[in-house]
Amino acid sequence: MSQLQKPQTLRGKTAWWAAVAVVFIVAVLAFLILIKPAPQTTPQTGETPVAQPTEGCNVPEGDTSSKPAMPEDLRWEARSGWTWPVSDTYGPTQTKDGYGVCFARSPLGAALAAVSMNASANVVDARGAGETYMLDSKGKDVLLGKTPEGPAATTPVPFAGFIVDSFNEDEAAITLVVSTAASSSGYAGLPLTFQWVDGDWKLKLLDDGSSFVGQPPVPVKGGFVEWVGSNG
């Protein structure tokens, strides 16, 4: 499967990041700190691969382009003031210990995994979400070592969409985008890198427990894939 990348962000300045860091990172996922995005490659064009079932979860792959179309069954879950997109077709298609799992092996599947992880950390249990969605590593042990049990229960923020930074069949680097008044553009981005392990996406962390290095992107309207689905 070919790699693709679609950088569509403006990098934030130090002053802006200092102001929005707590508002965004704590609100989206209280126990995530910083990570390094995956290497970027040149986008390639061509026909969208035919949907194929993934290993283990039997989820259709779907659109693997940098701007995947929203599935017809995309809808919004709601709990404790948080709302987040889900798809019965592309994920989560199963549950494990109360957490949504089994996502499509595609950029859309990775993005759905990202919002499910964040939502679960805030409304179910932050530590349990880490155990479920993070790749086993030294970084995971470090981060969970300072993550208390129970929901993060931070102030809800709207999930606006995502950016596909790079993708291949084994790794997906996406930027999760939320709406926030703390950003000059009205949006803030959190880069996340997922690895395909045992038939599902798992979040990669650095050895110090961080999830990216440097300044986060500052998405602008039209520069990311927006979640569009039914609220009913």
Q: Over the stretch 17-32, which tens digit does the pLDDT of each residue have? A: 333 332 333 333 433 3
Mean pLDDT rounded to a whole number for the chain: 78
Highest mean pLDDT pick, 11-20, 26-35, 69-78: 69-78
Q: How far out from the chain centre does Cα 226 lie?
A: 13
Q: What integer is the mean pLDDT of 47-52?
A: 37
16 part of a folded domain: yes
pLDDT per position as a tens digit, 101-111: 999 999 999 99
**Banded model confidence at residue 151, pLDDT cuts 50, 70, 90:** confident
**Residue 56: its pLDDT value, please?**
64
Query: Above 90 in pLDDT, residue 232?
Result: no
Alpha helices in the chain (DSSP H): 14-21, 27-28, 107-123, 126-133, 138-144
Query: Above 50 in pLDDT, residue 38?
Result: no
4 part of a folded domain: no
**Higher-confidence position of 74 and 25:** 74
127 part of a folded domain: yes
Number of domains in the chain: 1
**Banded model confidence at residue 133, pLDDT cuts 50, 70, 90:** very high
Contact present, 232 and 88 (Cβ < 8 Å): no
Q: What integer is the mean pLDDT of 174-183?
A: 90
Query: Above 50 in pLDDT, residue 37?
Result: no
5 part of a folded domain: no
3 part of a folded domain: no
Q: Kindly state the percentage of the chain with pLDDT values over 70.
A: 74
111 part of a folded domain: yes
Highest mean pLDDT pick, 10-24, 33-47, 62-76, 204-218: 62-76
30 part of a folded domain: yes
pLDDT per position as a tens digit, 190-218: 899 999 999 999 999 988 888 888 778 89
**Residue 3: its pLDDT value, please?**
44
DSSP 2-30: --B-----EEPPHHHHHHHHIIIIIHH-T
Contact present, 113 and 181 (Cβ < 8 Å): no
Parent domain of 146: 10-44+52-226
Contact present, 120 and 99 (Cβ < 8 Å): yes
pTM of the model: 0.78
2 part of a folded domain: no
**Banded model confidence at residue 231, pLDDT cuts 50, 70, 90:** low
* Separation of alpha carbons 41 and 143, rounded Å: 29
